[in-house]
Amino acid sequence: MMRKTIGLAVMLVLMAVGVTAAAQADLSAFPVGTTKMVYSIVTEEMNDPEMLTITVVSHGEDQYTLGMNVEASGTADQLGGFGFLTMGSSLSYGGGQDVSYSALQALIDQRSHLQPGGDYILAGGGSFKDITSVEIAGIQCLQGSFLDPKNEDTKTTMAFSLTSPVYVFPLIRVEELRSGEWVTTLKMELTDYEFTAPEG
């Protein structure tokens, strides 16, 4: 179960960070200066959350520095999958199950058209439902739940920033249906957002 959860975390982080098209915002959206984003990543198996820090430095003239740092505390068994997150060597979700990249990509591409209270049908039959307006780390967001008909016992809640550029979604929460109840297996949430303008 540990490696299953870490594998999903890696897929979501790489999808949002490693693939520019899937990022919440392109680097060009970040103002000149330093934007620091701190995320808490919680899984069922970890005693303490992993902390992911992403820093985007925009130097101007289409020049950027992108940094990522991950920290975690726990037992040796709990940290057994930690290398997968930092090395980015796994994209699978559990025993060979795949998350529908095309449906998620379509959702990301159409995020500017989302409205609170709306339900949206995605390519391949997936849906994005229960959309609400929320504030996360001081950023106004739209949040909803992605349901994949190919994996009906899993629900992914995602939030999209409306007011500030972020490189990873402000919220990603994965839940599994167990004995008729939704149980959170992974939660990645923006906890701190800071922008520092260049000196002078």
Question: Is pLDDT above 60 for 90?
Answer: no
Highest mean pLDDT among 39-53, 92-106, 151-165 belongs to 151-165
- The residues spanned by each domain of the chain are 2-195
Question: Is pLDDT above 70 for 198?
Answer: yes
Question: Is pLDDT above 80 for 96?
Answer: no
- Rounded to whole angstroms, how far apart are CA atoms 55 and 88? 18
- Compare 117 and 84 and report the one with higher pLDDT: 117
Specify the pLDDT at position 105: 65
Q: What angle do CA 147, 52, 190 make, to 5 degrees?
A: 55
How many C-beta atoms lie closer than 10 Å to residue 5's C-beta? 22
- Rounded to whole angstroms, how far apart are CA atoms 79 and 89? 15
pLDDT band at 95 (very low <50, low <70, confident <90, very high): very low
Average pLDDT over residues 76-90: 48
- Compare 86 and 160 and report the one with higher pLDDT: 160
Average pLDDT over residues 69-95: 52
**Which region among 12-21, 173-182, 188-197 has the lowest average model confidence (pLDDT)?**
12-21
- Compare 194 and 99 and report the one with higher pLDDT: 194
Structure pTM? 0.77
Average pLDDT over residues 159-177: 89
Question: Is pLDDT above 50 for 14?
Answer: no
pLDDT band at 78 (very low <50, low <70, confident <90, very high): low
The DSSP bridge pattern shows strands 171-178 and 50-60 to be unpaired
